[in-house]
């Protein structure tokens, strides 16, 4: 499926992407690498998520989950020391680390995607500024910091009208700002109803200890209470920049992206200039 560059004795951290990382070829790639998982996903949704991925997070999240585990299945020959997932990527990371079974993870990601879709309302914007400056902008317009992705890439969430005003205000101040094509104010208090329902489902889920440390987006440290952190992640900001720095502090010298696309690889290099990054290239079925 994909051959990674040999890494010698380098300490490898595997990264699992979140929503927005989808690629055109990932559906065919999942059919090639993990037809069993795709069949289970179709059964759970009553539909093919790849055919309806543009409809919203309820289809996009299960699709990316399947693509991420398809990518992970090609990494059996490398020795992994650390893991992290961006937003929904945390579920794929916890499955890869052995804390949650694939089918339990699929059930949770299908529910998570549906709950976030139903919570809906609001929007998100990307700001090309450091966290302190982006935080001031958020406070000025009544928004929440949703993602601290890189030294000068922060995402804000909130009411649609406030997002529009904040975009205009940022641009007037000479700050890059872009409204994102999403269906809700994710990683903000607007997701409280989704968090409550996910908490109930997680209380019944079978969850063990990860075999490999997985860093939480809520704390930027290894998961302690998996259930609590997954619930909190819906309404808390993703501390991705801090996660990358913590992975490096813990010895990571190479970062391998397991899911579709190369979004996280780019964020790693923005946070640690010159970082050694690689990504699984999902090959379509006809390759």
Q: What is the pLDDT of residues 136-150, one digit of tens each?
A: 999 999 999 999 999
Reported as type and span, the H/E element at residue 154 is strand 153-158
Residue 275 CA to residue 264 CA, distance in Å, equals 12
Please report how the helices 102-119 and 57-72 are oriented relative to each other, as an axis angle in degrees rounded to 10: 150
Residue 165 CA to residue 102 CA, distance in Å, equals 42
Region of 251 (left: φ > 0; alpha: ψ -120 to 50; beta: rest) is left
Q: Is the pLDDT of residue 121 over 60?
A: yes
Q: What angle do CA 185, 186, 191 make, to 5 degrees?
A: 90
For the chain, what are the domain ranges? 12-120+187-279, 123-179
Q: What is the pLDDT of residues 171-213, one digit of tens each?
A: 999 999 999 988 899 999 999 999 999 999 999 999 999 999 9
Could you say which DSSP state residue 284 is in? P
pLDDT at 44: 97
CATH number assigned to the domain covering 123-179 = 3.30.70.250
Q: Is the pLDDT of residue 3 over 80?
A: no
Average pLDDT over residues 155-161: 97
C-alpha dihedral sign at 126, 225, 195, 205: positive
Residue with tokens 């090639």: 32
Judged by DSSP in three states, 75 sits in: coil
CATH number assigned to the domain covering 12-120+187-279 = 3.40.366.10
The catalytic residues are 87, 187
Ordered alpha helix ranges (H), the chain: 26-33, 35-45, 57-72, 89-96, 102-119, 131-141, 160-172, 192-203, 226-232, 240-249, 263-271
């Amino acid at each position: 499926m994909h051959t990674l560059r040999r890494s010698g004795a380098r300490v490898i951290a595997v990264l699992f992407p979140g929503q927005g990382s989808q690629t055109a070829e990932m559906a065919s790639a999942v059919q090639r690498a993990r037809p069993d998982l795709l069949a289970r996903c179709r059964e759970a949704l009553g539909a093919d998520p790849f055919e309806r991925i543009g409809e919203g997070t309820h289809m996009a999240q299960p699709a990316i989950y399947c693509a991420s585990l398809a990518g992970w299945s090609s990494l059996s020959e490398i020795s992994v020391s650390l893991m992290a997932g961006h937003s929904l990527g945390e579920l794929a990371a916890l499955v890869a680390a052995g804390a949650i079974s694939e089918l339990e993870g699929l059930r949770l990601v299908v529910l998570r995607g549906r709950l976030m879709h139903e919570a809906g309302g609001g929007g998100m914007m990307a700001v090309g500024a450091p966290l302190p400056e982006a935080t001031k902008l958020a406070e000025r317009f009544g928004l929440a910091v949703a993602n601290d992705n890189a030294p000068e890439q922060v995402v804000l969430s909130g009411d649609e009208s406030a997002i529009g005003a904040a975009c205009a205000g940022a641009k007037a101040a000479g700050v890059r700002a872009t409204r994102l094509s999403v269906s809700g104010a994710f990683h903000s208090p607007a997701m409280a109803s989704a968090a409550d329902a996910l908490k109930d489902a997680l209380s019944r889920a079978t969850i063990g200890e990860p075999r490999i440390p997985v860093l939480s987006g809520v704390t930027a440290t290894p998961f302690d209470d998996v259930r609590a952190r997954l619930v909190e992640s819906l309404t808390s900001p993703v501390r991705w920049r801090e996660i990358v720095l913590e992975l490096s502090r813990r010895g990571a010298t190479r970062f391998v992206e397991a899911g579709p696309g190369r979004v996280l690889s780019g964020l790693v290099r923005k946070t640690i200039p010159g970082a050694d990054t690689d990504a699984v290239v999902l090959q379509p079925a006809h390759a």
